[in-house]
């Protein structure tokens, strides 16, 4: 099994280019199931999770192939199959976003329930509630969602639960609603940039969607969607991870081709603790930003609460927590999206951090230094947190189960190596 070795103590310097967003690419690739004709999706990152969604889509009759220029070409060739099996879905929860497109185009879907994962129970009740409101008959049986949708119609749906809005639930209902009769209104829709990106892609295919980026989506069903070319937004979580990396190493890096407007809550927190973050350039054609992140000599503690967008993202909680293990004073971190997403904390404690957990809150007492240790990655963002800790820990950190990292960070070891880190994948 692959391991990642990081030797701590180097100050990060140089430039890094941000890749396309994983969490936009996955639903957008699933949405190509809706298109008549070819789609060309650009800026799709090279990640295991992208391979996983391709493995789900091919048995559903799609021709799907990476082109020489890195873009992905898709075309529906056979629409007879509407099953996504447990063997494939269990590898990646996001596979569940084929449900909406299958119902809309093939009038039925049989998709394995994804199950929970280390970050929590992760139900899909809201996805099913939304699709049922559109008229789908859905049964959950033998671990599969069996859905039939001969008579789907637009409807008004409130899509919220105990933890707020749902990103992929909104994606599923929005995709299904694009091709059915009538108007669908999703109240309490997720407004994450990745949901906006999906809406923009669907609109480019001919869908009628208003309100993307707000909590109220209005979708008027159309007869058909056509193939198109589309470029994915940059990955805000990757950009935030590099800000954290510059912060923790007292580094000075230029983060290229990111979207500063997708990271307001994150930048605000890093500035609050003492990191200097400045927009250096905006490309008027692409709307992308180059941002300089300069670490300080020491950091203030702070309180962080994760929330749906535009709040502080849960996907950057582990990374900022790692920086706060070295800040002066006590930081209080509250997880309001995934109350159990603290698996990284016990590994950080093994490296010398001082973190205590109470319910959905972690209390971090800043320490003077971390020390390298063998540690185990438990999920994607927890792995990123351990790499960050390794960048600054005294000695060598060896991170096991690094495949988690490869699910969501493109060429991460290469990118860190170019910034001056002693890092090796074995
Ligand atoms: N929830 C329900 N019922 C549902 C759906 C969600 O109770 O039917 C709860 C969840 O358990 C959670 C909250 O609602 O407490 C929010 O979950 P959401 O549905 O928004 O999460 P998701 O769509 O399954 C996406 C990202 C996650 C990211 C979350 C929150 C993708 C592929 N995944 O998941 O990304 O943490 O939104 O922003 O888009 C990651 O990239 O590491 C990752 C986990």
Q: What is the CATH number of the domain that holds 164?
A: 3.65.10.10
Q: Which helix (H) or strand (E) holds 88?
A: helix 86-89
Domain end residue (candidates: 190, 213, 231) = 231
Same domain, 225 and 240: no
List Cα–Cα distances, 297 to 198, 261, 318, in angstroms: 40, 27, 21
Q: Is 315 in the pocket of ligand 1 (CB under 6 A)?
A: yes
pLDDT given at position 385 = 98
Going by C-alpha positions, the residue among 215, 239, 234 that lies closest to residue 288 is 234
Q: What angle do CA 218, 219, 223 make, to 5 degrees?
A: 160
How remote is the CA of residue 29 from the centroid of ligand 1, in Å?
18
Evaluate: CB of 94 within 6 angstroms of ligand 1.
yes
List the residue whose alpha carbon is closest to atom 18 of ligand 1.
Answer: 166
Q: Are residues 252 and 218 in the same domain?
A: no
pTM for the whole structure: 0.98
Q: How many domains are contained in the chain?
A: 2
The domain in which residue 14 lies consists of 3-19+234-425
Q: Which of 97, 117, 191, 302 is catalytic?
A: 117
Q: Does one domain contain both 42 and 66?
A: yes
Q: Are strands 289-294 and 252-258 parallel, antiparallel or unpaired?
A: antiparallel
- The DSSP element (H or E) to which 371 belongs, if any, is none
pLDDT (tens, 9 = 90+) of the chain, 426 residues, equals: 889 999 999 999 999 999 999 999 999 999 999 999 999 999 999 999 999 999 999 999 999 999 999 999 999 999 999 999 999 999 999 999 999 999 999 999 999 998 667 888 889 999 999 999 999 999 999 999 999 999 999 999 999 999 999 999 999 999 999 999 999 999 999 999 999 999 999 999 999 999 999 999 999 999 999 999 999 999 999 999 999 999 999 999 999 999 999 999 999 999 999 999 999 999 999 999 999 999 999 999 999 999 999 999 999 999 999 999 999 999 999 999 999 999 999 999 999 999 999 999 999 999 999 999 999 999 999 999 999 999 999 999 999 999 999 999 999 999 999 999 999 988
Last residue of a domain, one of 204, 231, 258: 231
Task: Indicate whether residue 169 lines ligand 1 (CB < 6 A).
Answer: yes
Q: According to the model, what pLDDT value does residue 426 have?
A: 87
Q: Is 117 a catalytic residue?
A: yes
């Amino acid at each position: 099994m692959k391991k990642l070795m990081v030797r701590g103590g180097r100050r990060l310097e140089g430039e890094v280019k941000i890749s396309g967003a994983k969490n936009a690419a996955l639903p957008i690739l699933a949405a190509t199931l809706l298109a008549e004709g070819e789609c060309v999706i650009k800026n799709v990152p090279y990640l295991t999770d992208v391979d996983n969604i391709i493995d789900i889509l091919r048995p559903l009759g799609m021709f799907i192939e990476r082109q020489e220029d890195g873009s992905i070409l898709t075309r529906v060739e056979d629409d007879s199959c509407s099953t996504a099996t447990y063997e494939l879905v269990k590898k990646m929860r996001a596979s569940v976003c084929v449900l909406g497109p299958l119902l809309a185009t093939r009038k039925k879907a049989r998709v394995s329930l994804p199950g929970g994962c280390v970050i929590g129970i992760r139900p899909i009740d809201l996805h099913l509630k939304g699709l049922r409101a559109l008229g789908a008959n859905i049964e959950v049986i033998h671990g599969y969602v069996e859905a039939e949708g001969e008579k789907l119609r637009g409807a008004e749906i409130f899509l919220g639960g105990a933890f707020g809005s749902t990103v992929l639930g909104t994606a599923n209902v929005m995709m299904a609603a694009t091709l059915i009769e009538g108007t669908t209104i999703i109240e309490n829709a997720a407004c994450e940039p990745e949901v906006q990106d999906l809406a923009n892609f669907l609109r480019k295919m001919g869908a009628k969607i208003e309100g993307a980026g707000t909590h109220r989506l209005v979708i008027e069903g159309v007869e058909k969607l056509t193939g198109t070319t589309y470029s994915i937004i940059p990955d805000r979580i990757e950009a935030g991870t590099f800000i954290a990396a510059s912060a923790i190493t007292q580094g000075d890096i230029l983060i290229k081709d990111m979207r500063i407007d997708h990271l307001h809550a994150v930048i605000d927190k890093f500035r609050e603790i003492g990191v200097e973050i400045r927009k250096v350039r905006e490309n008027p054609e692409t709307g992308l930003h180059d941002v300089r992140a300069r670490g300080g000599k020491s950091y203030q503690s702070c309180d962080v609460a994760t929330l749906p967008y535009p709040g502080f993202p849960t996907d950057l909680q582990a990374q900022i927590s790692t920086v706060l293990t070295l800040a002066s004073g006590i930081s209080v971190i509250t997880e309001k999206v995934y109350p159990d997403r603290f698996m990284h904390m016990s590994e950080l404690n093994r490296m010398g951090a001082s973190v205590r957990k109470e319910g959905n809150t972690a209390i971090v007492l800043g320490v003077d230094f971390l020390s390298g240790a063998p540690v185990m990655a438990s999920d994607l963002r927890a792995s990123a947190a351990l790499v960050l800790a390794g960048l600054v820990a005294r000695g060598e950190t060896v991170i096991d189960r690094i495949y988690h990292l490869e699910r969501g960070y493109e060429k991460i070891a290469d990118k860190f190596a170019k910034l001056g880190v002693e890092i090796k994948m074995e």
